[in-house]
């Protein structure tokens, strides 16, 4: 998924975040890199990975 300056501007507006014009290219590049990494994680085969319980149910500790 490609992320452009307009998308970053709209996301910033919706989140109530101000991004300076001179920082917009850097934020766009970083956000695009993050989305690419998330897309790459979607491709992992996790079918043999069992869920891990971090917080035990009451009485299991």
DSSP letters spanning 9-60: HHHHHHHT----GGGHHHHHHHHHHHHHHHHHHHTS--TTPPP--SSPPTT-
Note the pLDDT tens digit of each residue in 20-53: 999 999 999 999 999 999 999 999 999 999 888 7
Report helix, strand or coil for 2.
coil
**Cβ atoms within 10 Å of 35's Cβ, excluding its own:** 14
Helix (H) / strand (E) element for 7: namely helix 5-15
pTM for this entry: 0.67
């Amino acid at each position: 998924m490609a992320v452009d300056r307009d998308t970053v501007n709209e996301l910033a507006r919706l989140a109530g975040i101000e991004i300076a014009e001179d920082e917009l290219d850097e934020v766009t590049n970083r956000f695009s890199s993050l989305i690419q990494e998330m897309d790459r994680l979607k491709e992992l085969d996790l079918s043999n990975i069992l869920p891990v319980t971090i917080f035990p149910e009451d009485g299991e500790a």
